[in-house]
Amino acid sequence: MVTTDQVVLVPWAEPVHHLGALPDGWTYAVYTVEDSQAGQTPAAETLDAVRLYVPPYTFDPAVLSLTDRMPSVRAVQLLTAGYEHALPLVRPQVGLANARGVHDASTAELAVALMLASQRELDAAARAMTSSEWLVGQTRALADCTVLIVGAGSIGHALEERLRGFECRVVKVASRARADLRGPQELPGLLADADIVVLLVPLTDRTRHLADEAFIGQMRPGALLVNVARGGVVDTDALVRACAAGRIRAALDVTDPEPLPAQHPLWHTPGVLISPHRGGNSAAFLPRAQRLVAEQVARFVAGEPIAYLVAR
């Protein structure tokens, strides 16, 4: 691709159809997840002209390191809600925006699914199917539970909305207390009262291993820890010890390390249900991602600040 235009590099074919036409002097170029997996990159002249880059939906660091070859890039629009993986790979002077709102519905939906599957022991029932075993007995329920959501961003709000019909009490903790949100200093008492604790905080230096031995030790015996944030928010060794001892249970969409190695003890720890980081990766992702990118492209080419810039 030889161009004198300014380039918006996006991860989907037919970008004009999905994202809308660009003004004169601008053009789209495409760099897909399949390109990245094949080790292919756009031509040098294309990379030279990129002003706005929307990387493919992958955690492969190579797709973000590509910004080192984009001398004119001004902003990077991620397709992930988390951005800790991008901070070391994108130059500080380049604007970095996360995909706020794109994953809210899918991640909240999966959090509910993990709660229900764990409370109603659906994983045990699924395993019993392989031997035609008819498991009977009473299980826990979501009804009448106290659900503590640690992280009161847009996904936390979406989760609260989805829990309204389940007849449970929802308590939310934010980085500071305000209105109906509790502050982090209240966590010890809140953990002791919660039947289910859902982690929805971004992974930062402050939140790494937030759920450590002390945090887990403050949880109610038999309580369920649901992690749909990032694996590093939980101290995996402490979690394995607590679950192996039968003190708490866990339902995890993310782990540390990730992917979880085949021989890792977490796979076989009693009371643990693992989903392979599919919280935001549902059929709802693509149309929502394309709507966000269309809005951000329109702002950017009009010379306006893009939304959802994250702290650098």
Catalytic site positions? 230, 258, 277
Any idea which residue has 């809140």 for tokens?
190
- The residue with tokens 């764990």 is 118
Contacts of residue 92, defined as CB under 8 A and 6 or more positions apart, other chains included, come to: 312
- CA atoms within a 13 Å half-sphere pointing along the CA-CB vector of 43: 7
Cα distance between residue 36 and residue 29, in whole Å? 14
Q: What's the gap between Cα 195 and its chain centre?
A: 23
Residue 202, token pair as written in the block: 């971004």
The interaxial angle of helices 104-119 and 122-129, nearest 10 deg, is: 70
**Residue written as token pair 């706005």:** 52
